[in-house]
Amino acid sequence: MHPFPGKNDPLSSYRNFMVTGLQDIDKCRQQLHDISVPLEVFEYIDQGRNPQLYTKECLERALAKNEQVKGKIDTMKKFKSLLIQELTKVFPEDMAKYKAIRGEDPPP
């Protein structure tokens, strides 16, 4: 007769595995107490989707928005440059004063 009945029992092995896993989680709890997870991640999990897809899609949206904002910034820089050129043609003295105030060298 085996000294510990149920020792080789699959249910007992699974129970021990679960207890050990929960103990490991409990040990890590203090390190992870201030981490917040977006609710959308849980929605991904509930839908059976990989939560890493959430991160990937967030990064893709951020990159797309970054490109959009970069395009707007470039357009505004071009507009500023053209505006200064046209204003310099119409108001050369005033624009020279403006450039002096701004610390920009007037064009030769």
Query: What is the pLDDT at residue 1?
Result: 42
Query: In angstroms, rounded to a whole number, what is the distance separating the alpha carbons of residues 51 and 48?
Result: 9
Distances (CA, A) of 41 to 50, 56, 65: 9, 12, 21
Query: What is the pLDDT at residue 3?
Result: 47
pTM over 0.75: no
Query: What is the pLDDT at residue 5?
Result: 53
DSSP track, 45-98? HHTT--HHHHHHHHHHHHHHHHHHHHHHHHHHHHHHHHHHHHHHHH-HHHHHHH
Query: What is the pLDDT at residue 75?
Result: 97
Query: What is the pLDDT at residue 88?
Result: 94
Query: What is the pLDDT at residue 7?
Result: 57
Split the chain (108 residues) into runs of 10 and give each run's mean pLDDT. Answer: 58 90 86 82 90 91 97 97 95 92 70
